[in-house]
């Protein structure tokens, strides 16, 4: 497997486009994205478990009942959530898109991201749908990626190439993150394309397996979004024998998808609103995978620990505190904690007690922009990794006045 | 019932003291507090459910097994948590205190608050215990209150007077809060004194009833402290007939204790680290008390909503989002949300959808320093209230470099 360029257009037969249609006031910001497959795809999505759901999620669920799709349309600048006419608007967007693409309306995945509770007008879509479709191109993944960004500061776009049955296969993806990021059995917005042939059942299975270990292990601010969604479209153009069971080929595909989703998850954590540092917390030797996950997420979710990382302060007591209030099983007196970066690694806690370390070395390690927290529980054989970011002045600034 | 001055010294027979003994570097900050009853008290505590517990909590639990105590000693500047010799130090502090007071070591409640995982020397206690005991006075509640403060900016001290059996009764209290505040079936540090005669069982019962509706409904930053503790000492000097069942007198006492604990809870939320605003979220017409509590806490814990309040931004979508990811039962399509302060009240959401409001009026309302969020679920008969604060630059500043 090797990493390649091209994002969602890296797999065979996928075009993309991104334009400014007027939902966002700033004309230099794209706010509408489209991804289209030349042929019908097996498709699946995972959705936010927030009970307050964006209208596009309701419509997409209906459209994906048959497990097939040909296109994804997504706007930024407005979440189309908590609006009285939200579903009507989402349906109208799909109709406009289906008409322009000359495909069935039920084969469209629709998504929105932005402010909650502000009416979304259909006018910008009416006015610019043909322009959007006309600009579709096999090279324009980046435009689509820009079209779904909100407070994101960097594009999150990945692709890999690998082989199944001696056929060259690809997976590509784009995602947006930044704030309101605390996926709960679902994810922020991420769109994945692949030319691999895989049955609907197997596609659904592998996506859920991978999402649990990637997107669901990210937190920027503990707030699970109303519009979280990951959608995957597989068009089979790689011409491998269709994956219909959990065999070797399923594992190859899963490994590639895991790489893509892990890369996106880390990119989303690192580009969290106001963030200056990516925090990776790896918990090993836990009694169960769930114990490891709960502890890793508790640490990277702690506001106090996140603020300490911003301040380059090796305040490991806050790590112990966050482990302590997590609902996990472990023996406090066995916990070992280390902090690491490209500047080296120091142990700060052993047997649940402070372990002497050089504050100077700690400052050196914590001055890097990617920090790893290793927690060894010495209590079992299971492990998990979670990704987060520091809590900064800019997070407060960005969210103190988001709507204006 | 009327509010009075005097804090923990308002009830008959309680002396207090607070001094600087050298645990904190800043000599103008008191760091050691003592509260002593002239006679033996019925006493109880609630403790943090954080599995990583401060050493003083382990020692206090042992001392309170018989439900009796005469004194509370508490230092600030060091939490005495995750230290290899933590329990030895906590025991040594109790022994020094017992010797100076000439009381049984088992009648001492001990507490610590401050940085986690830094060794606590016994020397400052040895050197200053006699000075502390010598300065005990029936008027020095405020000194004790200063002695337990960490990043608190205001003293949290309350007292009330009321009647039981025609006897004048009192409850007094001091507390510290500020950061790492997210009580979980326990509380931050709070010390309550009363001269009411009440049995051990009834005291234990009423304290747990009240704490569930007061301290456990506060959050500053979602981080449950390792050293949370509420201790109550009742010395019976008011000479009412001892309360031994849940009768009218129990209710009078409960009402007074509820007032004290509610006042402290609001004071702690309002003085949360970096906070500029007290947020009070009242949820009414829920299917159960638990549903109401879960929703109220979810709203006041949301980083996004807290940052919006700092920015005086009526971004009610974040309230709906926080309701949505809470694990409560309700009908999304019935939710009504209003925002209020001394500047008036506006409805921002009805039937789970946006309700038109004046942004100008909203800004006026949100410019005040006490904001109320009313959530009517129209789905049952139960209610709950939670208290929190806004998320500000100063929270990040304070916690970005707490240890230096």
- Is B363 in CB contact (< 8 Å) with chain A? no
- Output helix, strand, coil percentages for chain B, rounded to the nearest 5: 35, 30, 35
How far apart are alpha carbons B69 and B41 in whole angstroms?
Answer: 5
Tell how strand B278-286 and strand B370-376 pair up.
parallel
Q: What is the mean pLDDT of residues A26-43?
A: 93
- Determine what percent of chain A is predicted with pLDDT higher than 70: 96
Q: What is the average pLDDT value for chain A, to the nearest integer?
A: 89
How far apart are alpha carbons B300 and B76 in whole angstroms?
Answer: 27
pLDDT band at A181 (very low <50, low <70, confident <90, very high): low
Give the pLDDT score at B289.
92
Q: What is the side-by-side strand order in the sheet with A353-354?
A: A353-354, A344-350, A336-341, A370-376, A278-286, A382-389
Q: What is the end-to-end Cα distance of chain A in Å, rounded?
A: 44
Output phi, psi for B147, to 5 deg.
-65, -20
pLDDT tens, position by position, B155-213: 889 999 999 989 899 999 998 877 666 665 444 677 888 988 898 888 888 888 888 77
Write out chain A residues lying below 8 Å of B226, CB-based.
317, 320-321, 324
Q: What is the mean pLDDT of residues B313-326?
A: 89
Q: What is the average pLDDT value for chain B, to the nearest integer?
A: 89
Give the pLDDT score at B268.
84
Q: How many CB atoms lie within 10 A of CB A65?
A: 8
Q: Give the ranges where A186-247 is alpha helix by DSSP (H).
A: 200-213
* Beta-ladder partners of A374: A282, A338
**Would the pLDDT of A185 be above 60?**
no
Q: List all residues 6 or more positions away from B389 whose beta carbon is below 8 Å from its beta carbon.
A: B220, B269, B270, B272, B275, B276, B277, B278, B279, B306
How far apart are alpha carbons B404 and B394 in whole angstroms?
Answer: 16
Q: Name the residue of chain B whose CA is nearest to A394's CA.
A: B393
Among B residues 104-133, those touching chain A with beta carbons less than 8 Å apart: 115-119
Length of chain A: 404
Contact A397 B393 (CB under 8 A): yes
Among A residues 301-320, those touching chain B with beta carbons less than 8 Å apart: 301-304, 307-308, 310-311, 313, 315-318, 320
Tokens of A156: 């999150």
Contact A325 B223 (CB under 8 A): yes
For the question of residue B187 being annotated catalytic, the response is: yes
Tokens of B248: 């009218």
Q: List all residues 6 or more positions away from B159 whose beta carbon is below 8 Å from its beta carbon.
A: B3, B4, B5, B6, B7, B8, B10, B11, B141, B170, B171, B172, B173, B260
Give the pLDDT score at A184.
55
How far apart are alpha carbons B6 and A53 in whole angstroms?
Answer: 51
Write out chain A residues lying below 8 Å of B318, CB-based.
116, 180, 223
Tokens of B211: 């704490």
Contact B315 A53 (CB under 8 A): no
Element (H, E) at A305: helix A303-310
pLDDT band at B375 (very low <50, low <70, confident <90, very high): very high
pLDDT tens, position by position, A163-180: 998 989 999 999 887 766
Give the pLDDT score at A227.
72
Q: How many CB atoms lie within 10 A of CB B218?
A: 25
How far apart are alpha carbons A107 and A64 in whole angstroms?
Answer: 8
How far apart are alpha carbons B280 and B298 in whole angstroms?
Answer: 12
Contact A400 B311 (CB under 8 A): yes
Write out chain A residues lying below 8 Å of B398, CB-based.
307
How far apart are alpha carbons B222 and B301 in whole angstroms?
Answer: 6
Work out the widest C-alpha separation in chain B, in whole angstroms.
68
Burial code (b: 16+ CB inside 10 Å, e: under 16) for B127-137 equals ebbeebbebbe
How far apart are alpha carbons B404 and B402 in whole angstroms?
Answer: 6
pTM passes above 0.90: no
Out of B187, B226, B385, B392, pick the active-site residue. B187
Contact B321 A400 (CB under 8 A): no
Contact A349 B117 (CB under 8 A): yes
Residue B351, by phi and psi: left (phi above 0), alpha (psi -120 to 50) or beta? left
Of residues A72 and B114, which shows the higher confidence score? A72
* Nearest CA-CA partner of B148 in B129, B130, B123, B175: B175
How far apart are alpha carbons A381 and A284 in whole angstroms?
Answer: 7
Write out chain A residues lying below 8 Å of B49, CB-based.
325
User: Which among B313, B352, B400 has the least Cβ separation from residue A310?
Assistant: B400
How far apart are alpha carbons A148 and A30 in whole angstroms?
Answer: 8
Collapsing DSSP to helix, strand or coil, B242 comes out as coil
Q: List all residues 6 or more positions away from B356 whose beta carbon is below 8 Å from its beta carbon.
A: none
The owner of tokens 């006490």 is B370
* Beta-ladder partners of B157: B174
Tell how strand A278-286 and strand A370-376 pair up.
parallel
Q: Which of A47, A48, A49, A52 to mutate to test the interface with B (most CBs of B within 10 A)?
A: A52
**Would the pLDDT of A217 be above 70?**
yes
Sign (positive or negative) of CA dihedral B268, B269, B270, B274: positive
Write out chain B residues lying below 8 Å of A182, CB-based.
325
Tokens of A6: 């091209």
Output phi, psi for A222, to 5 deg.
80, 0
DSSP B190-233: EEEEE---B-HHHHHHHHHHHHHHTGGGB-SSS---SS-EEEEE
Q: What is the mean pLDDT of residues A185-205?
A: 79
Among A residues 236-295, those touching chain B with beta carbons less than 8 Å apart: none
Output phi, psi for B152, to 5 deg.
-55, 140
Give the pLDDT score at A186.
47
How far apart are alpha carbons B212 and A396 in whole angstroms?
Answer: 30
- Determine what percent of chain B is predicted with pLDDT higher than 70: 96
Q: List all residues 6 or more positions away from A97 whose beta carbon is below 8 Å from its beta carbon.
A: A34, A71, A73, A105, A108, A110, A129, A133
Element (H, E) at B157: strand B156-164
Contact B115 A83 (CB under 8 A): no
Output phi, psi for A227, to 5 deg.
-120, 10
Give the pLDDT score at A129.
98
Give the pLDDT score at B179.
67
**Would the pLDDT of A402 be above 60?**
no
Q: Name the residue of chain B whose CA is nearest to A304's CA.
A: B399
How many Cα atoms are found within 13 Å in the side-chain-facing hemisphere of A7?
22
CA dihedral B182, B188, B192, B198 (to 10 degrees): 60
**Would the pLDDT of B57 be above 70?**
yes
Identify which of A202-206, A220-224, B62-66, B318-322 has the greatest average pLDDT.
B62-66
Contact B353 A308 (CB under 8 A): no
Contact A324 B53 (CB under 8 A): yes
Q: What is the mean pLDDT of residues B64-86?
A: 92
**Would the pLDDT of A315 be above 60?**
yes
CA distances in angstroms from A143 to A76, A137, A159, listed in the order given: 13, 10, 15
Identify which of A265-279, B92-106, B154-168, B203-217 has the greatest average pLDDT.
B92-106
How far apart are alpha carbons A74 and A367 in whole angstroms?
Answer: 37
* Nearest CA-CA partner of B242 in B165, B304, B155, B139: B165
For residues A256 and A210, the answer to whether their CB atoms sit within 8 Å is no
Whether this model's ipTM surpasses 0.90 comes out as no
């Amino acid at each position: 497997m090797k990493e390649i360029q091209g994002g969602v257009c890296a797999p065979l037969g996928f075009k993309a486009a991104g334009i400014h249609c007027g939902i966002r006031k700033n004309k230099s910001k794209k706010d509408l994205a489209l991804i289209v497959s030349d042929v019908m795809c097996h498709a699946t999505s995972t959705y936010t478990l927030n009970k307050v759901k964006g209208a596009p999620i309701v419509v997409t669920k209906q459209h994906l009942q048959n497990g097939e799709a040909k296109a994804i349309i997504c706007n930024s600048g407005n979440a189309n959530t908590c609006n009285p006419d939200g579903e009507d608007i989402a349906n109208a967007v799909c109709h406009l898109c289906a008409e322009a693409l000359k495909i069935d309306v039920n084969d469209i995945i629709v998504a929105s991201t932005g402010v909650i509770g502000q009416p979304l007008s259909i006018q910008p879509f009416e006015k610019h749908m043909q322009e959007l479709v006309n600009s579709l191109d096999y090279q324009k993944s980046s435009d689509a990626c820009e079209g779904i960004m909100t407070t994101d500061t960097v594009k999150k776009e990945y692709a890999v190439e690998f082989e199944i049955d001696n056929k060259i296969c690809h997976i590509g993806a784009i995602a947006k993150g930044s704030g309101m990021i605390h996926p709960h059995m679902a994810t922020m917005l991420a769109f994945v394309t692949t030319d691999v042939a895989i049955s609907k059942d197997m596609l659904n299975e592998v996506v859920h397996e991978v999402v649990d270990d990637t997107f669901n292990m990210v937190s920027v601010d503990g707030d699970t979004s109303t519009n979280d969604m990951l959608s995957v479209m597989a068009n089979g153009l790689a011409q491998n024998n269709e994956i219909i069971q959990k065999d070797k080929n399923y594992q190859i595909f899963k490994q590639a998808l895991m790489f893509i989703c892990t890369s996106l998850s880390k990119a989303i954590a690192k580009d969290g609103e106001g963030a200056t540092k990516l925090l990776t917390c790896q918990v090993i030797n836990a009694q169960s995978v769930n114990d490891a996950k709960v502890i890793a997420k508790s640490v990277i979710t702690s506001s106090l620990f996140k603020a300490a990382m911003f301040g380059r302060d090796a305040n490991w007591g806050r790590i112990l505190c966050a482990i302590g209030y997590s609902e996990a099983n472990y023996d406090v007196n066995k916990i070992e904690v280390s902090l690491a970066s490209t500047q080296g690694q120091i142990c700060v806690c052993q047997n649940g007690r402070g372990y002497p370390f050089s504050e100077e070395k700690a400052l050196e390690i914590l001055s890097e922009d990617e920090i790893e927290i290793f927690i060894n529980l010495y209590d079992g054989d299971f492990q998990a990794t979670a990704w987060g970011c520091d809590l900064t002045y800019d997070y407060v600034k960005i969210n103190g006045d988001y709507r204006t």
